[in-house]
């Protein structure tokens, strides 16, 4: 009986030691195992990411949105009980054709375009009333990229004056195991020498300090690392059933949570 007890204790010690080695082997997924000397110094030229045309919050025309080359204008001219409809593309010289009338609209607002169309139509129509609808050309949107310990990593349309905090909100926020003190922002107009910045949102949430909530630029890559302690906690959840089977014959059941619970 004593020999059986000794064997069980030996098995438990082996399992616990293996588990501890497994836990200490957990590392931050944002931490490279390569030394600095392994960084590539090759001469290969990597082209920069393409630039977008507009911010995500500027895709819907407003009363102040200027008319640009390539836009389409839907024009309705009413006279009396009748009306005439036109659809025309703004040409490279900034003008648009409304029937046989040429009107300069480049750079002006919709309200000003309506006034110009009415003035241009007066010699040919009695009391014309113009209504103009602006349809913007196919737009490319500025974007940033969010990866790491977040809920929905990937590309995020970039709004004007976007910050790291807003980018994380756009990906449904971070996981509980995210390391908010060490968020990396990779900014690379020149990919051979990218700029690495650090954002610290823990200071924001703890002290209300916004100084490290960085303002983003187009094509920034945001990486949210994971706490090592968070990795250990997940590993503990995996090995707990194994430890329970090994320890159960020796220790009372109420001691098991104390031996297998890892608190961050």
Instruction: Give the 3-state secondary structure of residue 114.
Output: helix
- Would you identify the CATH topology of the domain 60-135? wza like fold (3.30.1950)
Look at residue 56 in the predicted model and tell me its pLDDT: 85
Q: Which residue has the higher pLDDT, 137 or 132?
A: 132
- Would you identify the CATH topology of the domain 47-53+141-226? Outer membrane lipoprotein wza fold like (3.10.560)
Report the alpha-carbon distance of residue 229 to residue 38 in Å, rounded: 27
- Average pLDDT over all residues of the chain: 79
Using one digit for the tens of pLDDT, what is the confidence trace for 38-61?
666 666 667 778 888 888 887 778
Q: pTM of the entire structure?
A: 0.58
Q: How confident is residue 177, by pLDDT bands cut at 50, 70 and 90?
A: confident
Please count the CA atoms within 13 angstroms of the CA of 55 that sit on its side-chain side: 9
Q: What percent of the chain has pLDDT over 70?
A: 68
Look at residue 85 in the predicted model and tell me its pLDDT: 92
Using one digit for the tens of pLDDT, what is the confidence trace for 57-88?
877 788 888 898 888 999 999 987 788 899 99
Domain ranges across the chain: 2-26+229-260, 47-53+141-226, 60-135
Q: Look at residue 19 and tell me whether its pLDDT is greater than 60.
A: no
Report the alpha-carbon distance of residue 111 to residue 56 in Å, rounded: 24
Distances from the Cα of 24 to the Cα of 2, 14, 27, 217, 263, angstroms: 33, 15, 8, 37, 15
Look at residue 251 in the predicted model and tell me its pLDDT: 46
């Amino acid at each position: 009986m004593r020999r059986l007890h000794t064997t069980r204790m030996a098995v438990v010690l082996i399992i616990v030691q293996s588990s501890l080695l497994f836990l200490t082997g957990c590392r931050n997924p944002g931490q490279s195992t390569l030394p600095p000397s392994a960084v590539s110094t090759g001469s290969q030229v990597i082209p920069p990411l393409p630039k977008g045309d507009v911010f995500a919050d500027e895709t819907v025309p407003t009363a102040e949105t200027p008319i640009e080359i390539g836009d389409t204008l839907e024009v309705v001219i009413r006279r009396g009980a009748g009306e005439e409809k036109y659809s025309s593309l703004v040409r490279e010289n900034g003008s648009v054709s409304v029937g046989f009338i040429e009107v300069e609209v480049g750079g002006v607002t919709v309200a000003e375009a309506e006034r110009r169309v009415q003035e241009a139509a007066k010699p040919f129509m009695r009391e014309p009333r113009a209504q103009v609808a602006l349809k913007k050309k196919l737009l490319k949107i500025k974007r940033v990229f969010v990866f790491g310990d977040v809920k929905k990593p990937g590309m995020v349309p970039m709004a004007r004056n976007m910050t790291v905090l807003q980018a994380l909100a756009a990906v449904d926020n971070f996981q509980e195991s995210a390391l908010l003190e060490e968020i990396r922002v990779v900014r690379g107009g020149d990919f051979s020498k990218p700029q690495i910045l650090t954002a610290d949102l823990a200071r924001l949430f703890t002290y209300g300090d916004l100084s490290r909530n960085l303002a983003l630029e187009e094509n920034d890559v945001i990486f949210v690392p994971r706490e090592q302690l968070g990795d250990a906690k997940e590993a503990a959840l995996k090995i707990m059933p194994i430890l329970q089977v090994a320890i159960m014959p020796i220790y009372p059941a109420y001691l098991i949570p104390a031996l297998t619970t890892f608190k961050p």
